[in-house]
Structure 1
Amino acid sequence: MKSGVGISKGLGACEEALQRLLDGKPFVPEHLGLDLSKLTASIVSLEAGFDRGYLKKSRKAHLPILAMIEACRADANNSSGSSNGKNIKRVEDKLVHLEKELALVSSQRDRVLTQNLQLWDRVRELELAARQSKSLKVRLHH
């Protein structure tokens, strides 16, 4: 699905996005593990970096890619027996992605909690120093 001569950049981006979706390697995290029987023009548009309504049946140049999307969706619906393995692979890929994201978010949370504890300790030290300073001033004046 290479972009041909005379095809707009937008249409070329949509073709590349469709290929990424078919390969199971989308850029948009929500599209990871996408069931191809649910593939739509709006999903391809979003994956290509456009809004949902970029691909339109009213645009002649868009008809071939819309037909490819429909064919991919129909093929996914018809090959449900072989798609079980693909579905398992998609779910596993999504799980790996979510595990990585969880590890990252957990690490960020731990870093922020450590910083907060350090700040809390510093505030306590400063409050204690302020109390001792006031106490020392009171003793010096008497």
Structure 2
Amino acid sequence: MSTKSMSSGLLACEDALQRLLDGKPVLPEHVGLDLSKITASIVSLEAGFDRGYLKKSRKAHLPILAKIEASRAEANKRFGSPNGKRIERLEAKLALLENELSMVQALRDRVLTQNLQLWERVRELEVAESQRKSLKARLHL
């Protein structure tokens, strides 16, 4: 469709979409908007219309609706879907927890080793003490 045959409303929506994609919206609520969140409603509002201006039932609106969908799909592919980002955060958290777990297990093993060594030393001292008492008792006889 040529620009001449496009209605002024569609032109406004085209401009609004481009502003959103460029990160230069005129509406404050659209500043910093994640490109994967761009919808026909948002483009309509940015263009100065109500949310329902762009409709799939209007043939003339189909090209811009396709552009909106394509730009959202591209943003999801480029930046990862919100679920993909969530999975990455959870995987990073899991890696930290696994690292912490291995450190805690190593500490536990060290403490157990020390406790076993202490227990063995106490046993040795008890045996030595009992032998000393036994020797002392024999000497007093």
Residue 40 of structure 1 is matched in structure 2 by 39
Residue 101 of structure 1 is matched in structure 2 by none
Deviations 1:48-80 (A, max 9, x none): 000000000000000000000000000000011
In 2: Cα distance, 1:10 partner to 1:80 partner:
30
Q: How does 1:15-34 map to 2 (within 5 A)?
A: 15-34=14-33
- Give structure 1 regions of 4+ aligned residues with deviation exceeding 6 angstroms: none
Supply the RMSD in Å over aligned alpha carbons. Answer: 1.5
Residue 5 of structure 2 is matched in structure 1 by 6
**Identical-pair percentage:** 79
- Which amino acid counterpart does residue 39 of structure 2 have in structure 1? T
In 2: Cα distance, 1:39 partner to 1:52 partner:
12
Whichever of the two has the greater Rg, that structure is 2
In 2: Cα distance, 1:7 partner to 1:32 partner:
27
- Which amino acid counterpart does residue 46 of structure 1 have in structure 2? L
Bigger RCO of structures 1 and 2 (CA < 8 A, at least 6 apart) = 1
- Which amino acid counterpart does residue 67 of structure 1 have in structure 2? A
> Helix, strand or coil for the counterpart of 1:79?
helix
Q: TM-score, normalised by structure 1?
A: 0.54
Residue 72 of structure 1 is matched in structure 2 by 71
Gaps of 5+ in 2: 82-141
In 2: Cα distance, 1:44 partner to 1:15 partner:
8
Residue 128 of structure 1 is matched in structure 2 by none
Gaps of 5+ in 1: 84-142
In 2: Cα distance, 1:16 partner to 1:80 partner:
23
- Which amino acid counterpart does residue 13 of structure 2 have in structure 1? C
Deviations 1:74-131 (A, max 9, x none): 00000116x9xxxxxxxxxxxxxxxxxxxxxxxxxxxxxxxxxxxxxxxxxxxxxxxx
In 2: Cα distance, 1:26 partner to 1:17 partner:
7
Whether 2:52 is the aligned partner of 1:53: answer yes
> Helix, strand or coil for the counterpart of 1:27?
coil
In 2: Cα distance, 1:46 partner to 1:55 partner:
10
Equivalenced residues, count: 80
- Which amino acid counterpart does residue 49 of structure 1 have in structure 2? G
